[in-house]
A and B are shown apart, each in its own frame.
Chain A
Amino acid sequence: MTEFLQLLFQGVSLGSTYALVALGFAVVYRSSGVINFAQGAMLLLGAYAVSWLAVDVGLSFALAVLAATVMLALAGAALHGLVLRRVVGQPTFVLVMITIGVGIAVTHGVEAAFGPDRRLLGDPWGAAAFEVGGVTINTVKVWGIAVTAAALGAYFAFDRYTRWGLAMQATAADEEATLSVGVPVRRVHACTWALAGALATLGGLFLAGFPGAPQPALGDAALRAFPAIVLGGLGSPVGAVVGGLLIGVVEVLTSGYAPDSLGTNFYAVAPYVAMIAILLVRPYGLFGARPVERV
């Protein structure tokens, strides 16, 4: 039982980080129909930006996180303004391929700038932990869950109650109609990419927390979050959060309980197995809507 609770805690912790990553994907997909393959590189960039500001520049950690979030938001908006804005109207997969190219360049750019080794994150928590009823609880994981909850709350409030949130929903529903009633659609798109960048900083930050560290392979976590967004339905922010939690718990529980006959490291592919099984039953995810098509 203790082991189960321990794994469940770790699963929820990992799942909440995946939820942040998946929300980054969902926000972009909902507004522009693109799966942002550069999200992994943005996570990496976010974690390294925090590490650089906190360790090399010497800012206090909270300030470093804030500054890194702003930097990544600007980077996201720049990616939209400089590159993606120019290929609007091209087949979706051309856009997806562009994000893949950006991802390759940024990932190797970070590696070229900071070297291939693990770095210090500069967080105040480190490996600190306490015990509750035999379950070891890492401080960084508690912060991760709390910050994720706060960020998700802030996002959904923003989406529901602000003019910009409303503009985003409208743009997602019908871009032309939104443009015709005077919403600056281009700026709305830039705003979603900035949001994706900001979310990536937080996601990257907690992926790099103990026992991880800022290192070039960090971005691969985005690939493991793919099943989360697909499970939730690509354009559904709520689905992204539920899918993220689900995938995190599935991954950690299989790492604890999968029999050896399934092969070593089965937990790494378990989310994909779960995803394929669910998609064959519900082709547009748990929360996605089947698009209505005209013939």
Chain B
Amino acid sequence: MRARLVLLAVVLVMLVLPFQFGTSALTTATFVVIAAIGATGLNVLTGYAGQISLGHAFFLAAGAYTGAKLGEDLGWSAALWIPAAGVVAGVCGALVGPIALRLSGLYLAIVTLGLVFIGQHVFFNAESLTGGPQGRTFPPVVIGPFDFSAGQVLRLGGLQIDSNGLYYYLALALLAGATAFAWNLRRTRTGRAMVAVREREIAASVMGVDVRRVKIAAFTASAFMAGVSGALYASYLSFAQPGEWSLLLSIQFVAAVIVGGMGTVAGPLLGSAVVFALPTLLKNLPFLPEEAAGGVSVSDLSSIAYGLLIVAFLVLQPRGLVGLVNQPKEAHS
């Protein structure tokens, strides 16, 4: 009962946020929610199935370029290219999945890291699709009467929602879907099989879990959500260069999952809020002067603080933000 009240409160707060925030805060919030979709995907792979991947940026890129190809070059409706982005990324995930059958742990992490580098090489050279090093534009979301292009304003009764707000609500709806999926997955046969593989792969296979199927399923589901997140992310940015899909982006997603709490349902959203909003918040701190003494740039200072905060947080609370909330309950049990 209490959990439901908290959930209701969170949902209500997130629904009214666009009317309380200024544009810059709303932009940050939108990026956080879009990222949380991708983080939910990574959480299925890493948190549930225990497969460590640094290749998430590659799947985001696969989704983003699918969206660009179908939405901008072929003129499809966003109602089609957003799901298509997920499907193409999901197929990529299903193709990468079998690698995880031969490799585990940190070896898998490094091979998926290779995927990011090889992917970036391909994106830099495939100019017809990605625009090459100069980058390309990405289509705004247009679904029927809803036009998300910059400058468009939707009027509902007395309320006005600009394109930032529209992106925010769309991302929120998709995040709700992803979260519901992750929530329910935990209670299905496949979800429990994933947890069994995470805990002890050999024991799981001895008990009849089809490890091959489970790992490929985890990679596919994770990549699907990454693809949707990537398509939305690129569309919201409206322009991106291949360098956008870098190792740093992958690392941010891994950090979001760990900081939020691996394998938990609320973790990805909490973690994304910390990891993806923190750099913006740190840049806007009032006590940081524009140009600190000795010409130290604000972006350097905020990056230093960002790195140190991740370290401090994990040292003090290795089980993530969700662990922080759940702690008292466990002390009694």
Contact = CB atoms under 8 A, between A and B. Distances in A.
A179 B323 CA distance: 31
Nearest to B313: A101
B318 A295 contact: no
A150 interface: no
A108 B125 CA distance: 30
B107 interface: yes
A108 B258 contact: no
The prevalent SS among residues of B at the interface is: helix
Interface residues of B, number: 46
A83 B316 CA distance: 10
B203 A104 contact: no
B106 A105 contact: no
A180 interface: no
Contacts of A269: 114, 117-118, 120-121
A272 interface: yes
A101 B307 contact: yes
Contact of A109 (B109, B110, B258, B304): B304
A78 to B, nearest CB: 13
Contacts of B306: 104-105
A19 B265 CA distance: 42
Contact of A97 (B247, B297, B310): B310
B125 A263 contact: yes
A266 interface: yes
The prevalent SS among residues of A at the interface is: helix
Contacts of B251: 100
A1 B297 CA distance: 49
Contacts of A93: 46, 52, 109, 254, 258
B110 A226 contact: yes
B311 A272 contact: no
Given A97-B254, A108-B300, A284-B107, A276 B114 contact: yes
A293 interface: yes
Given A35-B110, A93-B52, A279-B103, A112 B301 contact: yes
Interface string A212-239: 0000000000010011001000100000
A59 interface: no
Contacts of A115: 295
B177 interface: no
B307 A108 contact: yes
Interface in A81-104: 83, 86-87, 90-94, 96-98, 100-104
A25 to B, nearest CB: 10
A105 B206 contact: no
A265 B251 CA distance: 24
Given A83-B315, A100-B251, A269-B118, A280 B99 contact: yes
Contacts of A94: 258, 314, 318
Nearest to B102: A283
A4 to B, nearest CB: 25
A91 B263 CA distance: 13
A264 interface: yes
Contact of A108 (B46, B203, B304): B304
B122 interface: yes
Nearest to A109: B304
B94 to A, nearest CB: 17
A5 interface: no
A295 B200 CA distance: 8
A114 B280 CA distance: 24
A121 interface: no
A223 B107 CA distance: 14
A111 B106 CA distance: 29
A275 interface: yes
Contacts of A92: 105-106
B107 A263 contact: no
Nearest to A97: B258
Nearest to A283: B102
A101 B315 CA distance: 11
A173 interface: no
Contact of B103 (A98, A108, A283): A283
A142 interface: no
A223 B113 CA distance: 9
Contacts of B255: 97, 100-101
Given A86-B315, A100-B310, A268-B117, A279 B107 contact: yes
Contacts of B303: 104-105, 107-108
Given A87-B314, A272-B114, A283-B103, 18 more contacts: A35-B109, A87-B315, A90-B318, A92-B105, A93-B46, A96-B109, A102-B311, A103-B307, A105-B307, A108-B303, A227-B110, A227-B114, A264-B124, A266-B121, A269-B114, A276-B118, A279-B107, A284-B107
21 contacts: A35-B109, A92-B105, A94-B314, A97-B255, A97-B258, A98-B314, A101-B308, A102-B307, A105-B304, A108-B301, A109-B300, A112-B304, A113-B296, A226-B113, A264-B125, A268-B117, A269-B117, A269-B121, A273-B118, A276-B114, A279-B111
7 interchain residue pairs of minimum CB distance: A105-B307, A104-B307, A101-B310, A263-B125, A272-B114, A108-B303, A112-B300
Interface of B: 46, 52, 99, 102-103, 105-107, 109-111, 113-114, 117-118, 120-122, 124-125, 200, 202-203, 206, 247, 251, 254-255, 258, 262, 295-297, 300-301, 303-304, 306-311, 314-315, 318
